[in-house]
Amino acid sequence: MFLSLSILISVRLIAQPTGLEIKMFKVGNLHSWFSSLGCELEARGPLGDQLEGLNWPAQYGRYDNLAAKSMWIGATDYVDPTYNNTSFPYKVVVAGTRTSDPKRMIMPVEFKMIGKFDHPLVIVDGNPATDLDYDDRVDEVDPSIPSDRIIINKLNSSLGITITRTLSAYSQENHDNFFIYEYVFENTGIVDLDGNVVQQTLTDVVFHFQNRYAFGWVPFEGDWYPSNNITWGRNSINHTIWEDPENGDPLRATYVWYGPHSQSIHGCEADWGLPHPSEGQALGHPAYTGIVVLHVDKDVDDETNDPLQPFTTAHLGSDGDNLSFDQYVPSIMATYYENMTQGHPEMSIWEEMQSSGINCGDQYGGDPGGYSPAQGYGPYTLEPGDNIRIVFAEAVAGIDFEKSTLVGNNWYNDMGPFDMPGSGTTSDRNEYKKAWVQTGEDSLLQTFRRAKQAFENNYEIEQPPPPPSEFQVNSGGDRIILSWNQQAETDENFSGYRVYRAEGRPDNFFQLIFECGPGTQQAQVVNQFEDVSARRGFDYYYYVQSVGVNNLVSSKFYTMTNTPGYLRRPAEEAFSEFRIVPNPYHVRSRGIQFDSVDRLAFYGLPGFCTLRIYTERGDLVETIEHQDGSGDELWNSTTAARQLVVSGLYIAHIEVTRDIIDDDNGKVLFRKGEQTIRKFVVIR
């Protein structure tokens, strides 16, 4: 009977968790997803990919660094009220890396996101044009929070411990590549979704986190790495630093990077950073990823930071130590508890590799999925009502995308001598590339220190002004017109604006094309820019940033467009070209007209005019301001009162709103006030 129940539970845990909710941080340069389950299970993200999350640098495709996370909680000598008061020598409950039971083990009860402000309205040619409409779902707006976004995730567990996970993200450019995780674990005695409370003192309580970081699933076409050897996990290299707070920088951190692969087509030594075997490409994965411990309560009665925590810094097999779990099988829970409390290894994986002469990441150990860093905190005794707070930050850093592209191309072309980081040169292209990739370690440690400083300052950091709350891009015939509202200008830190543009793709390099405010060529602050340098036949993507007097700028991700602007049909030079299509408009012929059921097009317009539509007896139906410099305008057959027009004869009246002059020869094409009319028919 016990065996059957065990098998039933194991089968249930493998299934997709019910009640799963996902929220995302996407306002800074580090993008990731978070689950209401209290951790991010493998292949349970928005796309369902095995490698998904911690995407950095976020603008340039899917440089994901995360495969899975877990949160395990264990105690000793536990009488389980959810299992006939059975006494277990070790009681463990888990969420992740692959299994979870949100109905009976670790159970979500609250999951919401709070924003300092909501993301802006971004419109391109009348349509929503920002990923944040889908990926930045703010449940509450609270201007008083110190970070841009906070996720609050509350869960109960069958162990009687309530978990409150608070996640914080910034968009400020020097703090936008880390998240801060704050956990409060309280012995509330709530053991199920019904809220039943069982008071019990918990002994030897351990809180354990494991993060499976992985690299190598890059956004380029084709596989130039040994995909059959799980390159994105098997060769990840782990390292832990633990510096004495009294004799150095008190960083307690574990981090991971892409280890060169023995089966790489380049060879192990040349594989640092995962270089692409063709010109014009950035390195596949030069980033470093990891966590830094910020605070751990010494005890339930002592909230000062314990420099001796975590007391476990293990590296667990990503496959062998995480494949199965059952919260009612004593031997399984004992094994998990043993992993959670194994203490500190004598050396990290990186140190072991160096001491044994191993150069390739995939040649270490025997776990087919590689190894994941883990931290265990405790052990604690929690009486009813007691709680423990644990805080750490998670970050990704390395050489930026532009530098990664430069290094990748220099390596590919083997055009030495190569400039090394800091100073000096080398003629060895592999030494050059490796040295630049390894600067990511220092960048990550610097990021850890910034996160630590932010936490120690109660999450307060120096902030830029907010972005404009509305940004519009309108494609014209000879220019693309950008406009934004003035809301950011009410911030006391506001100084001006900067506008950036990318050609062809939104993941291309953006170039500064306009700025205004003190110290710029356009000292007066304005809220519009006309891009007259756009070329016909090309797509353009934009973002606008607010600039602060402290030189900090609002995040580009708030206003970055995901739909292109482009030059439309050029304006005409004479009224003779003006026509209305279709004419007549017949509702029963919609299948051979425009996709929109009620759309008419006005072609051959002057670039700047007012279009007024009247009924046959002279009643004004609608007024359209055509000011984008193009030669066409679309109308969805609605009146100014948003009513659909009825069958009948209509008159389109065109009045030029400004003098229009041919730039090539200075000839006046239209004078302000010139007019013409056309008639058209609507049949319903």
- Give the pLDDT confidence score for residue 245 in this predicted structure: 52
In a 13 Å sphere around the CA of 301, the CA atoms on its Cβ side amount to 2
DSSP conformational letter for 403? H
* Sign of the dihedral through C-alpha 449, 455, 456, 460: positive
Integer Cα distance of 47 and 43 in angstroms: 8
Report the chain's terminal Cα–Cα distance, integer Å: 72
Q: What is the pLDDT of residues 505-536, one digit of tens each?
A: 888 899 999 999 999 999 999 999 999 999 87
Alpha helices (runs of H) in 83-215, residue ranges in sequence order: 132-135
| Contacts of 12-20 spanning 24+ positions with Cβ under 8 A | 12/101, 13/99, 13/100, 13/101, 13/325, 13/326, 14/98, 14/99, 16/44, 17/41, 17/44, 17/100, 17/101, 17/102, 18/102, 18/103, 19/102, 19/103, 19/108, 20/44, 20/102
Q: How confident is the model at residue 248 (pLDDT cuts 50, 70, 90)?
A: low
Pairing of strands 312-317, 371-382: antiparallel
Which region among 13-17, 37-41, 139-143, 277-281 has the lowest average model confidence (pLDDT)? 13-17
> What is the arithmetic mean of pLDDT over 1-14?
31
The predicted model gives 395-418 an average pLDDT of: 94
Residue 584 has pLDDT above 70, yes or no: yes
Q: Into which CATH architecture does domain 470-558 fall? A: Sandwich (2.60)
Q: What's 298-327 look like in SS3?
A: EECCEEEECCCCCCEEEEEECCCCCCCCCC
Check pLDDT > 80 for residue 61. Answer: no
Q: How confident is the model at residue 592 (pLDDT cuts 50, 70, 90)?
A: low
Q: Which regions of the chain carry the CATH code 2.60.40.4070? A: 575-683
Mean predicted lDDT score pLDDT of the chain: 90
CATH ID of 575-683, from 3.40.50.970, 2.60.40.4070, 1.20.120.1230, 3.30.565.10: 2.60.40.4070
- Residue ranges, CATH 2.60.40.10, the chain: 470-558
pLDDT at position 12 over 80: no
Q: Is the Cβ–Cβ distance between 140 and 13 less than 8 Å?
A: no
Tens of pLDDT along 329-351?
999 999 999 999 999 999 999 99
What's the whole-model pTM score? 0.86
Per-residue confidence at 244, pLDDT binned at 50, 70, 90? Answer: low
Q: Please state, in angstroms and as integers, the Cα–Cα distance from residue 683 to each residue in 590, 611, 637, following that order.
A: 11, 21, 11
Contact present, 227 and 87 (Cβ < 8 Å): no
Say which residue, 266 or 296, is predicted with more confidence.
296
Rounded-to-integer distance, Cα 301 and Cα 640, Å? 68
Please state the rounded mean pLDDT for residues 62-80. Answer: 93
Q: What CA–CA distance (Å, rounded) separates 567 from 627? A: 14
Rounded-to-integer distance, Cα 99 and Cα 96, Å: 5
d(CA 111, CA 114): 10
pLDDT of residue 62: 66
Beta pairing class for 106-115 and 620-626: unpaired
How high is the pLDDT of residue 16?
Answer: 41
How far apart, in Å, are the Cα atoms of 176 and each of 283, 289, 522?
A: 22, 14, 29
Is the separation of the CB atoms in 678 and 580 below 8 Å?
A: yes
Instruction: Specify whether the CB–CB gap between 472 and 627 falls below 8 A.
Output: no
pLDDT surpasses 60 at 88 = yes
Which three-class secondary structure state does DSSP give residue 439? Answer: helix
Residue type, 234: R
